[in-house]
Structure 1
Amino acid sequence: MPARAHIGTSGWHYTAWRNGFYYGLPEQQWLGFYCRHFNSVEINASFYRLQSRETYRRWHDATPPDFRFSLKGNRYLTHYKKLLDTLPGIHLERERAQGLGAKLLVVLWQLPAALDMDLARLGEFAKALTAWPEVRHAIEFRHPSWFNQQVATCLHTNGIAVCQSDAADWPMWQAITTNLVYIRLHGHDATYASSYPVQALQCWAQQVNGWLEENKEVHVYFDNDADGAAPLNARTLASLVLRSVN
């Protein structure tokens, strides 16, 4: 089966999109409307608060059969536990996320910007993630001390992808450690706020198309949600990519 590009936004429930992207639709119709434009979404709310299995099941049932989810792992494990003693939390999050069924493809783990490299912690966390084998895992590093071959080797050995994270406030590591490529676009000039010009999206599309030709699975999510830039940028990128569903 050929690789597929999953393109969307980081979350879909933003009040700033109400009268723009959603054309004034009531909130209960937003997810259905979103699915008519995109084939995937990164669940962002799970980072701040654990969601119930029932909530995940409701989202599963409200989306088309070929729609897919990525899930942002809860910050308790990354920002409070700082990758240590994470197995109980991984079991809990996995149990709840089963409400998404086979529609959940990837879990993203975002590390705090102040957490510098600790290879032992990373190895312990990678071992704990084997308790959640039904999905792929990706890690977003925001401190540049992680950007080295030792970390890349650890990730490759454990089948964990690097999240290439573009923003104005932290550097991006463009390493590829698996056949999964995971991209988060937060806004290049102003984090969470700036829109990507067409020329930049064309450059990203060229890279995505190249990865697809290499039979890599690609996820791209826009997190520049202020003023509704994310869905507009995501639609443009999807139109430029060879094998997105829409």
Structure 2
Amino acid sequence: MGTSGFIYPHWGGGVFYPEGLPQRRWLEYYAERFDTVELNVTFYRLPTEGAFQSWYKRTPKNFAFALKGSRFITHIKRLKDCQEPLELYFERARLLKEKLSVVLWQLPPRYKKDTQRLKTFIESLRPYTTCRHAFEFRDASWMAEEVYELLGEADMALCEADWPGMPQFAPGESITTGFVYLRHHGPGGEWGLYSGRYSKAFLREEAERIKALLKQGRSVYIYFNNDAEGWAVRNALELREILK
């Protein structure tokens, strides 16, 4: 359990990071309180080798990184002819070694279902199965049985996210493999998307669901993305406390 990203300037000054703590030490502080982080930076650009090596060295032995797949692959190439960019991406990502836990492939809104292209892309991921893979679709056309079957056959997860306009899943409907990937973008608020505080009632309900999944022997990745006003870290800490 963790947050989507850890470097937000508005988390400093005591909101999450203590007053006076330099940003270069934020990851260590974060990793003392959470066992995983989802990195958004890998969606926008490919970090340097030194960045990956630094993340590895600055986190505890059992820390897990979830990386967002490159938008060049998902939004520009739209999963087509991706062998070369995949090789480059994983050449860097592998520097996280055993701490590279999962890669999230987030597709763009209004990108309609293309089952054959998804199948071809999944096949292109076969050399990169030392980590797990999850897909976040942002067009409702992808919510189809043939897509679930493709992901299940490949042992890949369907990311469940509370994205506006996307259908909510019935219990168990989104489970395609032995792990579950949950993203909470925020209930909304004065700052719009990625804002607002999830209620205690919501978090208690989520805790019961997570307990049930764990009891089934499934791994659960859950990331809060409501970074505005620091609610992501607060909600993650609240949920963790409920789960104790």
1:105 aligns with 2:101: yes
Residue of structure 1 in register with 2:16 after alignment: 21
Give 1:70's match in structure 2, choosing from 66, 72, 78. 66
The one-letter amino acid of 1:180's match is F
Structure possessing the higher relative contact order (Cα contacts under 8 Å, 6 or more residues apart): 1
Residue of structure 2 in register with 1:166 after alignment: 162
Per-residue CA deviation, residues 33-86 of structure 1 (Å, 9 max, x unaligned), is 101110100011110011122211100100111111111111000000011111
Number of paired residues?
236
Residue of structure 2 in register with 1:177 after alignment: 176
Are the equivalent residues in 2 in contact too, given 1:53–1:98 (CA < 8 A)? no
Tell me the CA shift for residue 241 of structure 1.
Answer: 2.5
Q: SS at the partner of 2:186?
A: coil
Give 1:45's match in structure 2, choosing from 41, 46, 55. 41
Per-residue CA deviation, residues 132-184 of structure 1 (Å, 9 max, x unaligned), is 11100000011000001011001111111000001345444551100010000
1:8 aligns with 2:10: no
Looking at structure 2, the residues matched to 162 and 118 of structure 1 have their Cα atoms a distance apart, in angstroms, of: 15
Residue of structure 1 in register with 2:196 after alignment: 194
1:236 aligns with 2:238: yes
Tell me the CA shift for residue 240 of structure 1.
Answer: 2.2
Once the two structures are aligned, what percentage of the paired residues are identical?
39
Identify the range of structure 1 (233-242 vs 104-113) with the bigger mean alpha-carbon deviation: 233-242
Unaligned runs of 5+ in 2: none
Summarize the alignment of residues 85-100 of structure 1 with structure 2, pairs less than 5 Å apart.
85-100=81-96
Residue of structure 2 in register with 1:212 after alignment: 214
Looking at structure 2, the residues matched to 53 and 206 of structure 1 have their Cα atoms a distance apart, in angstroms, of: 40
Looking at structure 2, the residues matched to 149 and 170 of structure 1 have their Cα atoms a distance apart, in angstroms, of: 16
Looking at structure 2, the residues matched to 236 and 182 of structure 1 have their Cα atoms a distance apart, in angstroms, of: 19
Looking at structure 2, the residues matched to 214 and 80 of structure 1 have their Cα atoms a distance apart, in angstroms, of: 38
Residue of structure 2 in register with 1:117 after alignment: 113
Scaled by the length of structure 1, the TM-score of the pair is 0.93
Looking at structure 2, the residues matched to 167 and 241 of structure 1 have their Cα atoms a distance apart, in angstroms, of: 24
Tell me the CA shift for residue 116 of structure 1.
Answer: 0.9
Are the equivalent residues in 2 in contact too, given 1:9–1:234 (CA < 8 A)? yes
Per-residue CA deviation, residues 69-112 of structure 1 (Å, 9 max, x unaligned), is 11111100000001111121111111101111101110000000
Q: SS at the partner of 1:100?
A: helix
Two-structure CA RMSD over aligned residues (Å): 1.2
Looking at structure 1, the residues matched to 96 and 147 of structure 2 have their Cα atoms a distance apart, in angstroms, of: 30
Give 2:205's match in structure 1, choosing from 195, 203, 207. 203
The one-letter amino acid of 2:182's match is I
The one-letter amino acid of 1:26's match is P
Residue of structure 2 in register with 1:137 after alignment: 133
